[in-house]
Amino acid sequence: MTVIMSKVWVDVCPLEKLIPGRGVCALVGGLQVAVFRIVGEEIYAISNFDPFSRAFVLSRGIVGSKAERLKVASPIYKQSFDLDTGVCLDDATVSVRTFEVRVEGGIVQVASP
Amino acid sequence: MELHEHRRTLVVAGNGMVGHKLLEILVERGATAEWDIVTFCEEGRPAYDRVGLSSFFNGTSADELSLVSPGFFDQLGLTIHMGDAVASIDRQSGEVVSDKGLRIPYEAVVLATGSFPFVPPVPGKDTPGCFVYRTLDDLEAIREYAAGCRVGAVVGGGLLGLEAANALRSLGLDTHVVEFAERLMPVQVDEGGGSVLRRRIEDLGVHVHTGMATTEIVTAKSGGVGAMRFKEGDDLPVDLVVFSAGIRPRDQLARDAGLAVGERGGVVVDDACRTSDPKIFAIGECALYGGRIFGLVSPGYQMARVAADRILGGEAAFTGADMSTKLKLMGIDVASFGDAFATEPGNEAITYRDPVANVYKRLVLGPPDRRGDRKVAGGILVGDAAVYQTLLQMCRGDMPSPKHPEELIFPAGSGAAVPAVGVGALPGTAMVCSCNNVDKGTICAAVAAGCDSVGTIKGITKAGTGCGGCVPLVTDILKDEQGKAGVVVANTLCEHFAYSRQELFDIVRVHRITSFSEVLAAHGTGEGCEICKPAVASMLASLANGHILDGERAALQDTNDHFLANLQRDGTYSVVPRVPGGEITPDQLIALGEVAKEFNLYTKITGGQRIDLFGARVDQLPHIWRRLIDAGMESGHAYGKALRTVKSCVGQTWCRFGVQDSTTLAIDLELRYRGLRAPHKIKGAVSGCTRECAEAQGKDFGVIATEKGWNVYVGGNGGVRPKHAELLAANLDRDTVLRYIDRFLMFYVRTADRLERTAVWLDKLEGGIEYLRRVVIDDVLGICAELEADMARHVDTYECEWKAVVDDPERMERFRTFVNSDEQDPNVVFVTERGQIRPAFDHEKADPALLTIGAKP
């Protein structure tokens, strides 16, 4: 028997609630996910967990860029994480997990793993 | 070294600055191969820097003032006789005789005996407590005697007199200057300059009496100086008198030897610096050339150079010297150059006077040429001598005069376009250091050879090692040359902006930019980052209030500013309401206690006399604040790079020792500057007396009460590198305190680097506290009105950021842990310690028995 694992898309909030350049934290299947809106419908989702401080805070960091990479800086000790890959830009041996994200009918959704 | 068989002897009488310069030049030119050079030094110390004498009272040691490089007198061919002087010259036998009886046959003699201070022949001039100001021994004697004195006076308001007055002031004496002429520094400045100088010196607390002739020094019962008596007016009670009424050449040796001397003293020399006896030279302040004594070090050095060359068979000639001077007296710039008094035919003067900033500038222009243009011919600058080097170069003809030279003395922004005249425009032949005869080309060559600091340039070229007046110009040349060579010291904010914070601030201010995207699009690259976004947010907030979470600005703020609270290590926040001046009512205390109990917050008293409530979740913050605001409290901005607290003691209201109402002033200051966004946090304090219980000298701005008013200190902090604040101004009334602090804070906000406290900023400010005084008190930049207006706008538009949030449901909505759920962060857990909560450590989180979950509202 073949089990087809279909994704479950969890609602985060209406798109217009997200401030461009800022993040929010959503609870997705029991996990804390940091969701960031850059501009328009350009949205990224990574774990809210900051491995350096071990606190769940990445959604409260400042979004920016390093060279061509979009990133968020942890508000606690300021390490930056690549929004696309979750890799820490200050220490490539550390990374956080990333999540699929989409806008459906004006609602931002994150795929529950 | 190859020694000649037939050696000759040169005797140098005097080891002062000029005598020693002669020895250095002779050694450098290899004279010791042929000559035995014997020098006599009357003082107990060999040559030292007499120009920098007053720094002795500010902690510079006698050793630091020494001009003699280690081992100098150990060289073969050089002998120095310390504590001995040439007593006579026997020209018949060709020998000099010393005080101690040495007889030395000579081939040549150089008189470098200098000058002595003129003491007017008034009765009582030898009373104990009367001094002159010439040698280190004089200064040591003054320091010793001054210990038991309260009031000191200087007879003579010339250059040296004011130096001496500054010295008395730094010894803590109430200082008077008595000048016979109608103005201060009559030789260098005219009436307009003299009156500006006088006002500035009086502002420093020095009493100035001009047009006063001292007739007697009255002896006190103790046998020491008791008072000064004048031709007119009452006696002036003083404990100590310093005579500094000019110098007289020390020409006795020459007189006794039958050499030609001037009618009013001075050994007559020709342009070879030879006296009437061709074997005897005279240089420095004892020499009279063209009927003139040159009482500055620079012409003295030129004479030394000429005499050395002649002794070695050269043809160098002294043809008079430029008496241009620029000096800093008690922190006040005074410059005089060229035909300062417009005495030459056809020369005319233009003056600029700003009675508010207390600046005087006089520019003398030469006669018009056939096109009607006039060249810079001289001038006087008092209070602001920034254009001195430029004007001097034009006056000397090293640099062309602009079409309208007068525009150089009017301040920027007065409508006249000030031509940008950089050091780059100077030709290589332009004289930079006239003390040591160093031109611009020599300095450029040194930079090209790898000198990368003023210190190394000084070491190699000797530029700036005489009177030191050219050091700013040397610095500018160094920067200019490094700039040309592509050596750029980058001070850019981050990869998105190629500007320093100050430059970016000016861009935002001048272009009236109101958003980050605007400044990024026009002046930056990329998306911004955690460095430039909060920096720009802070600038926008400093320039115009308005809620920091409005519109696009919300995305720029650090998490502390974004949630208007202080993030702690576990992701919770702490809350600090404002407690102005540390004054709090029992009802407010009770309200704080009730809020802390209700939300189960850890409470602690802060160093700034407030109460910090810890352990609040994001979603609790607006509820906590609703309660605090209802109890009459407001945001304390503990989360912002902004004014934090103004700490105070109870002052004269309660304290037996207080002399002013420090609590009220502290509250006024805190309410005035609350919410002011700055490059870093700002703390203040007000103490009600000199016991300083509020620790005002450890703050960015501190105010200490005196019997006469308030002393304002700036630039102190605790933290990693504690630093005491420096006195900005003394004995001010309340309004002036506010005005100066307004200006100081806004100037800091405009010009400091990102995350730079006032202490570091002040350290880096060229000219330090004195320059700061010139900006915020004397208004040399002409920006004080603007700074005050900026602050007035801040005061007028302030609103409590928290009140604006709890009054607005849309803003309230941002304070959620999860945007899509009402659940709480299960990772925020507390344990109990000493009856209060604290965040659990990881090992404790594994043990449920230890945990206390924060109470929910």
b/e map A44-59, b = 16+ CB within 10 Å = bbbbbbbbebebbbbb
Antiparallel, parallel or unpaired: β B573-575 and B602-605: unpaired
Statement: residue B100 has pLDDT above 90: yes
Closest-CA distance, A109 to chain B, in angstroms, reads 11
On whether residue A49 sits in a domain, the answer given is yes
Q: What is the pLDDT of residues B689-739, one digit of tens each?
A: 999 999 999 999 999 999 999 999 999 988 777 889 999 999 999 999 999
Nearest residue, CB atoms, A19 vs list B526, B554, B567: B554
Which residues from chain A sit within 8 angstroms of residue B615, using beta carbons?
A: none
Which residues from chain A sit within 8 angstroms of residue B532, using beta carbons?
A: 64
CATH of the domain at A70: 2.102.10.10
Taking residues A103-108, report their average pLDDT.
Answer: 93
Going by C-alpha positions, the residue among B291, B295, B288, B294 that lies closest to residue B274 is: B288
Number of domains in chain A: 1
Type of residue found at B117: P
Domain at B119-245: CATH architecture: 3-Layer(bba) Sandwich (3.50)
Question: Class of B641-795 per CATH?
Answer: alpha beta
Type of residue found at B432: V
CA pair distance B312, B8, nearest whole angstrom: 12
Supply the pLDDT for residue B418: 38
Give the Cβ contact number of residue B154 at 10 Å: 30
Q: What is the pLDDT of residues B377-411, one digit of tens each?
A: 999 999 888 888 888 888 887 777 777 777 777 76
Q: Which residue numbers of A have CB closer than 8 Å to B's CBs?
A: 10-13, 17, 19-22, 24-27, 32, 35, 38, 53-57, 60-67, 70-71, 73, 75-76, 78, 80
Supply the pLDDT for residue B485: 66
Q: Which two three-digit tokens encode residue B505?
A: 């601030």
Which residues from chain B sit within 8 angstroms of residue A54, using beta carbons?
A: 842
Nearest residue, CB atoms, A57 vs list B532, B571, B818: B571
**How far is residue B555 from each of residues B15, B80, B548, B638, B799, measured CA to CA in Å?**
70, 74, 10, 20, 20
CA pair distance B771, B750, nearest whole angstrom: 16
Q: How many residues does chain B have?
A: 857
CA pair distance B375, B369, nearest whole angstrom: 9
Compute the mean pLDDT over every residue in chain B, rounded to the nearest whole number. 88
Work out the pLDDT band at B5, boundaries 50, 70, 90.
low
What chain B residue is nearest to A67 in terms of C-alpha separation? B526
CB B749 within 8 A of CB B678: yes
Nearest residue, CB atoms, B820 vs list A27, A55, A67: A27
CA pair distance B721, B411, nearest whole angstrom: 38
Statement: residue B489 has pLDDT above 90: no
Among the CATH numbers 3.30.365.10, 3.30.160.270, 1.10.10.1100, 3.40.50.720, which is that of B426-489? 1.10.10.1100
Whether B562 and chain A come into contact, CB under 8 Å, resolves to yes
Residue by residue, what is the 3-state secondary structure of B403-420? CCHHHHHCCCCCCCCCCC
Gyration radius (Cα) of chain A, Å? 14
Taking residues B602-614, report their average pLDDT.
Answer: 96
Whether B681 and chain A come into contact, CB under 8 Å, resolves to no
Statement: residue B523 has pLDDT above 90: no
What is the crossing angle of helices B586-598 and B621-630, to 10°?
160
CB B617 within 8 A of CB B655: no
**Torsions phi, psi for A50 (to 5 deg):** -95, 110
Q: Do A64 and B528 touch (CB under 8 A)?
A: yes
Q: What is the pLDDT of residues B558-587, one digit of tens each?
A: 889 999 999 999 999 999 999 999 999 999
DSSP H helices in B636-733: 662-673
CB B189 within 8 A of CB B353: no
Among the CATH numbers 3.40.50.300, 3.30.390.30, 3.50.50.60, 3.40.50.720, which is that of B322-421? 3.30.390.30
User: CA torsion sign, B781 to B785 to B789 to B792?
Assistant: positive
Going by C-alpha positions, the residue among B281, B354, B289 that lies closest to residue B321 is: B289
On whether residue A60 sits in a domain, the answer given is yes
Q: How many CA atoms lie within 13 A of B841 on its CB side?
A: 2
Specify the 3-state DSSP secondary structure of B43. coil
Residue B355's contacts (CB-CB under 8 Å, 6 or more residues apart) are none
Which superfamily does B8-116+249-311 belong to? Answer: FAD/NAD(P)-binding domain (3.50.50.60)
On whether residue A1 sits in a domain, the answer given is no
Statement: residue B417 has pLDDT above 50: no
Q: What is the pLDDT of residues B337-377, one digit of tens each?
A: 988 888 888 888 888 888 778 889 998 988 888 777 888 89
List the strands of the sheet with A31-37, edge to edge. Answer: A22-28, A31-37, A43-47, A98-99
**pTM higher than 0.80, yes or no?**
no
Q: Do B554 and A76 touch (CB under 8 A)?
A: no
Domain boundaries, chain B: 8-116+249-311, 119-245, 322-421, 426-489, 501-557, 641-795
Work out the pLDDT band at B416, boundaries 50, 70, 90.
very low
CB B242 within 8 A of CB B157: no
What chain B residue is nearest to A77 in terms of C-alpha separation? B569
Domain limits for position A92 = 8-112
Q: Do B842 and A27 touch (CB under 8 A)?
A: no
Taking residues B756-773, report their average pLDDT.
Answer: 88
Q: How many Å separate Cα A58 from the centre of its chain?
A: 8
Which residues from chain B sit within 8 angstroms of residue A20, using beta carbons?
A: 552, 555
Q: What value of ipTM does the predicted structure carry?
A: 0.91
Q: What is the pLDDT of residues B785-825, one digit of tens each?
A: 999 999 999 999 999 999 999 998 888 888 999 999 998 88
Statement: residue B855 has pLDDT above 50: no
Please tell me if the domain spanning B322-421 has the same topology as the one spanning B426-489: no
Supply the pLDDT for residue A112: 87
